[in-house]
A = this chain, B = another copy of it.
Amino acid sequence: MTIERYDTNARYAQLVAYGDTLYIAGQIANDYDGDIRQQTAEALAKIDALLAKGGSGRTKLLMCQVWIRDFADYGGYNEVWEKWLPPGSQPARASVGATLLDPRLRIEIAAIASR
């Protein structure tokens, strides 16, 4: 099987597809100054776009890893997350605290999905 790589730069691909499994790189907000709801929505919009490029969608998520800067944001992140997630399509998930690329960033989300 060939490996498909999408949206690449010198360091990584935003999406790698191998067979029917998709690997999505850690996604962050466009606007680093947004609050947790805005940053979560922007990261999830990028995941939507990448899933679409790989021939998949929100209903085919298998596992997500979520890093948040501060667990005080956990409620706000989940509020956006729950509205975004179609019923019956919950992935396995782990959410842990971590420092991120820019101190203003509040959330980063990586995913594995099928297609």
Q: Which residues of A contact B (CB under 8 A)?
A: 1, 3, 5, 8-16, 18, 20-21, 23-26, 60, 62-65, 67, 71, 74, 78, 81-82, 85, 88-101, 108, 110, 112, 114
Contact = CB atoms under 8 A, between A and B. Distances in A.
How many copies of this protein are present in the complex? 3
Given A13-B91, A18-B62, A23-B62, 14 more contacts: A9-B90, A11-B78, A11-B90, A13-B90, A16-B91, A23-B91, A24-B92, A67-B94, A71-B99, A74-B101, A95-B101, A96-B98, A96-B100, A98-B98
Nearest to A78: B11
A26 B93 contact: yes
Nearest to A60: B3
